[in-house]
Amino acid sequence: MFRLMNPLLKLAVDLGPLVVFFLGNSYFGIFYATAMFMAATVASLSISYSIERKLSPMPIVTGVVVMVFGGLTIWLADELFIKLKPTIVNSIFAALLIAGLMTGRLFLKILLDSAIQLTDEGWRKFTYRWVGFFIFLALLNEFIWRTYSTDFWVASKLWITFPLTVVFAIAQTPFLMRHQIKPEDEPRSAA
């Protein structure tokens, strides 16, 4: 049996590697920040696993890509690889969700079914919304790293991408409420 993490602790664990990356870049530059980001990602995954005794696929995929592209960034001394990481991660998530839709698998339903109860039509529409958002994030990352400085790109992860993700997720609430499966009214017992 696993325990659920306190929501504030979960936010700190999820956001921690990004904050470490931002601060590391501010004080030590992109290459040290990348190494610190890799270490913080491993720590974040370890803390999540130690508390919940499981890891969701999304943090695992992100962690693997961080290790691969972070490793390439440090080994080849080329910041291009860490800059490509958000594009690759968001593209992978979009592609997996599209593949799921094409094969009749609603991966978001599998991931979130214990937290959210939606109709299958709701899950499909919700999946399309996240596909669009992941594609948007991939394109936004490409635009920012190609047109702005490395420092701005790093800061954009914390001050642009993260807030946009929170706003997008919160903005889905009315949609989720419309497509939520309502529990059947319990039969009334005769008194």
- Which domain covers residue 45, as residue numbers? 7-179
pLDDT of residue 149 exceeding 70, the answer is yes
Bridge partners of 180, per DSSP, are 118
pLDDT of residue 64 exceeding 60, the answer is yes
Task: State how far the Cα of 130 lies from the Cα of 168, in Å rounded to an integer.
Answer: 9
For residue 118, the 8-state DSSP code is B
Task: State how far the Cα of 156 lies from the Cα of 141, in Å rounded to an integer.
Answer: 9
Band of the pLDDT at 186, cuts 50, 70, 90?
A: very low
- Is residue 189 assigned to a domain? no
pLDDT of residue 15 exceeding 70, the answer is yes
Band of the pLDDT at 70, cuts 50, 70, 90?
A: very high
- Is residue 187 assigned to a domain? no
Total tally of structural domains belonging to the chain: 1
Task: State how far the Cα of 70 lies from the Cα of 64, in Å rounded to an integer.
Answer: 10
* pTM of the entire predicted model: 0.85
- Is residue 185 assigned to a domain? no
Q: What percent of the chain has pLDDT over 70?
A: 93
Contacts of 148 (CB under 8 A, 6+ apart): 156
- Is residue 130 assigned to a domain? yes
- Is residue 16 assigned to a domain? yes
Average pLDDT in the chain: 90
Tell which wins on pLDDT, 155 or 181: 155
**In this structure, which amino acid lies at residue 80?**
L
Instruction: Indicate the SS3 state at residue 54.
Output: coil
Both structure tokens of 72: 């390439």
